């Protein structure tokens, strides 16, 4: 894991760097607070940091405040290294945005244990964010086709129509369904019908631009929203989409199994 260490004492910085590299960390070492804040505020910057309290440019608490103010995406676990041991100093450091602190001189074993605690917290945050994103995706997408579900595409369409009132750019809306799809389900069963719907969705996605919108409107019905597309162009696009879906047979596991 990447970790940043910041200390203006060259000997202490080098010793700490060697200790952490030996423990398996990918270390970025800087000698002042301004450089530390710059590294930590990068979107792909280290998410674990050891900051000396007293440094030029910005001190440790100032770095913590800067990071908390500017980096709003993933959490950065900040540990202050300090010889200040009073309760008031500890409170000041934690209130500046630090997650933990170590009193100098510190024990290497304690340092590693506290860093492991930070890594567990960051892992927990990642898991929570992943779970939240998964829930958001499931709430906005159709579980069978992975297209936008009815509620989501109608909401996005409403937003595009409002935007059109401001920028006056044309929007074309298409609603299409699959002919005789009930016959497919009745003849071969719903499992094969689901395969057909998934393949149609795949072909639909491949036939539009990345910023167009496609949703499953219901059953075998699909809603397509073409952004910045006039009626004349929409007629041609509709024919292109129809050909993309119907130009070749849809092969299913059921058909392959019969062979």
Q: Which candidate in 130, 220, 221, 239 is catalytic?
A: 220
Q: What is the 3-state secondary structure (H, E, C) of 33-54?
A: HHHHHHHHCCCCCCCEEEEECC
**Taking Cα atoms as reference points, which of 241, 221, 234 lies closest to residue 173?**
234
Burial of 103 (0-12, 13-18, 19+ CB in 10 A): middle
Three-state DSSP state, 169: coil
Residues 6 or more apart whose Cβ sits within 8 Å of residue 84: 53, 90, 93, 103
Q: What is the 3-state secondary structure (H, E, C) of 86-124?
A: CHHHHHHHHHCCCCEEEECCCCHHHHHHHHHHHHHHHHH
Q: With both helix axes pointing from N to C terminus, report the angle between 190-206 and 231-246 in degrees, rounded to the nearest 10.
A: 130
Instruction: Examine the residue annotation and report whether 130 is marked as an active-site residue of this protein.
Output: no
Using the Cα atoms of residue 65, residue 70, residue 73 and residue 76 in order, give the sign of their dihedral.
negative
Note whether 172 and 223 are within 8 A (CB).
no
Q: How many CB atoms lie within 10 A of CB 160?
A: 16
Catalytic positions: 220
């Amino acid at each position: 894991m990447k970790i940043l260490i910041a200390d203006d004492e060259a000997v202490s910085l080098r010793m700490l760097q060697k200790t952490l590299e030996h423990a398996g960390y990918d270390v970025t070492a800087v000698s002042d607070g301004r450089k530390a804040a710059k590294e930590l505020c990068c979107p792909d910057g280290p998410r674990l940091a050891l900051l000396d309290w007293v440094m030029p440019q910005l001190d440790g608490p100032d770095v913590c405040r800067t990071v908390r103010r500017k980096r709003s995406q993933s959490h950065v676990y900040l540990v202050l290294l300090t010889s200040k041991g009073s309760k008031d100093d500890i409170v000041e450091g934690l209130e500046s945005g630090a997650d933990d602190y170590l009193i100098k001189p510190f024990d290497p074993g304690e340092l590693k244990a506290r860093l492991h605690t930070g890594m567990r917290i960051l892992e927990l945050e990642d898991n929570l964010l992943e779970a939240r994103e998964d829930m958001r995706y499931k709430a906005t997408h159709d579980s069978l086709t992975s297209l936008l579900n009815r509620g989501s595409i109608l909401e996005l369409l409403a937003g595009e129509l409002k935007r059109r009132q401001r920028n006056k750019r044309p929007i074309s809306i298409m609603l299409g369904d699959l002919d005789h799809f009930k016959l497919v389900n009745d003849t071969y069963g719903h499992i094969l019908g689901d395969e057909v719907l998934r393949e149609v969705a795949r072909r639909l996605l491949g036939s539009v631009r990345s910023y167009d919108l496609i949703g499953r409107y219901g059953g075998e019905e699909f809603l397509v929203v073409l952004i910045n597309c006039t009626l004349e162009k929409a007629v041609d696009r509709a024919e292109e989409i129809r050909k993309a879906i119907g130009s070749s047979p849809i092969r299913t596991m059921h058909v392959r199994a019969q062979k």
